[in-house]
Amino acid sequence: MIIDKHNRIHNYLRISLTDNCNLRCFYCMPDADYSFMPSSQLMQADEINQIASTFISLGTNKIRLTGGEPLVRKDADTIIKNLSAFPIKLSLTTNGVRLHDFIDTIREARITSVNISLDTLQANKFQLVTKRNNFKRVWDNIQLLLENNIHVKVNVVVMKGINDGEINEFIEWTKHTPVHIRFIEFMPFTGNRWMDDKVFTWQDILGTIETQYSWIKLKDETNDTTKKYIVPRHKGTFAVISTITSPFCSTCNRMRLTADGKMKNCLFSKDETDLLSALRKGEDIVPLILGNVKEKAAERGGQFVKDFHQLQAVGIENRSMIAIGG
């Protein structure tokens, strides 16, 4: 069992397959001078399998593939198929651009739910946020998943003055469509020019929804990062991820592996443990995994202050989101 000094059992691993991406979301990808990791530095498919297998032997029962964009990796198909042979719940977070090429793989791997990022329902704003003209492709791929009875969770990073005006359009989408919309508070990472005045808080989000809809609170699961809601009679649901104003760290069960094989015990941890180099040297990675989690800070990597308006984002020691794996 993987357990930290605060007695939290860790059984959920998020594996980043690459820091590369076919979109350029300004809140995620640092400026143009960012150099992607060379492929020799990335965990290879067999190494991902070996590391995953070690985590599973220690009690991990859920793995999510992420990135960067996991589906731009040439061997993503092999990696998904390999991992689907383990007795775990396998899932995926993607920007949706390449999903149509992976629908058979997703079905064969028995993945029943996919998280897709979509911050706007307007094609021109999509281009503004991602610097790519792929709105229709992502939209069509969401429909493709729904047609295949795969549950779709839509991640929306809400930023003041950018897409906060669209919150109720996302809620309207849930009226006839069984999608689950997850509104995420904008978080600070290296190079993403986070500003406290761009944060649209959980309370702001609910307040906006209340101007047009009434909602009912749904029950959250023990390790959920989300607070879930439904508008009565709507087919879909929605949730808020309030990392900035109301973190959910006390029940955290998450561990992360960057594409270059470094383990992080928190999205905001500054310390990393190099599992890939140890594996390549033939060393036992079990003590490294256990030791990494043991030292997990109680909350948000120990790097945040309570009042986010006082937060000095440049002082947070971390990677950019694209290099961590969200």
Query: Using CB under 6 A as the criterion, which residues of the chain lie in contact with ligand SF4 when the complex forms?
Result: 21, 23-25, 28-29, 67-69, 95, 117, 322
Stretch (H or E) spanning 44 = none
Among 192, 225, 237, 265, interactor with ligand SAM by CB under 6 A: 192
Q: Could you give the CA distance from residue 39 to residue 41 in angstroms, rounded to a whole number?
A: 5
Among 2, 17, 28, 259, interactor with ligand SAM by CB under 6 A: 28
> Residue 11's binding partner, choosing from ligand SF4, ligand SAM, none, with beta-carbon cut-off 5 to 8 A by kind?
none
Q: Is residue 93 near ligand SAM by the rule CB under 6 A?
A: yes
Nearest approach, Cβ of residue 1 and ligand SAM (Å): 28
Interactions with ligand SAM, residue window 217-236 (CB under 6 A):
none
Residue in the block written with tokens 């996919």: 114
Nearest approach, Cβ of residue 31 and ligand SAM (Å): 14
How large is the greatest C-alpha to C-alpha distance in the chain, in angstroms?
A: 59
Nearest approach, Cβ of residue 105 and ligand SF4 (Å): 19
| Residue 118, both tokens | 């979509």
Residue closer to ligand SF4, measured from CB, 56 or 65:
65
Residue in the block written with tokens 């069509």: 140
Residue closer to ligand SF4, measured from CB, 16 or 237:
16
Q: Is residue 130 near ligand SAM by the rule CB under 6 A?
A: no
Q: Which residues contact 153 (CB under 8 A, 6 or more apart)?
A: 113, 114, 115, 116, 179, 180, 181, 182
Q: Is residue 27 near ligand SAM by the rule CB under 6 A?
A: yes
**Pattern 98-117, binding to ligand SAM, x per CB under 6 A?**
-------------------x
Q: How far is CA 300 from the centre of its chain?
A: 15
> Residue 269's binding partner, choosing from ligand SAM, ligand SF4, none, with beta-carbon cut-off 5 to 8 A by kind?
none
Q: What is the number of the residue whose Cβ is closest to ligand SAM?
A: 326
Q: Could you give the CA distance from residue 273 to residue 265 in angstroms, rounded to a whole number?
A: 9
Nearest approach, Cβ of residue 117 and ligand SF4 (Å): 5
Q: Strand locations in 54-165, DSSP E?
A: 62-66, 89-94, 113-117, 151-158
Q: Which amino acid is at 141?
A: N
Q: Is residue 154 near ligand SAM by the rule CB under 6 A?
A: no
Nearest approach, Cβ of residue 303 and ligand SAM (Å): 15
Q: In what order do the strands lie in the sheet with 113-117?
A: 216-217, 227-230, 237-241, 180-185, 151-158, 113-117, 89-94, 62-66, 12-16, 254-257, 262-264, 273-274
Nearest approach, Cβ of residue 217 and ligand SAM (Å): 23
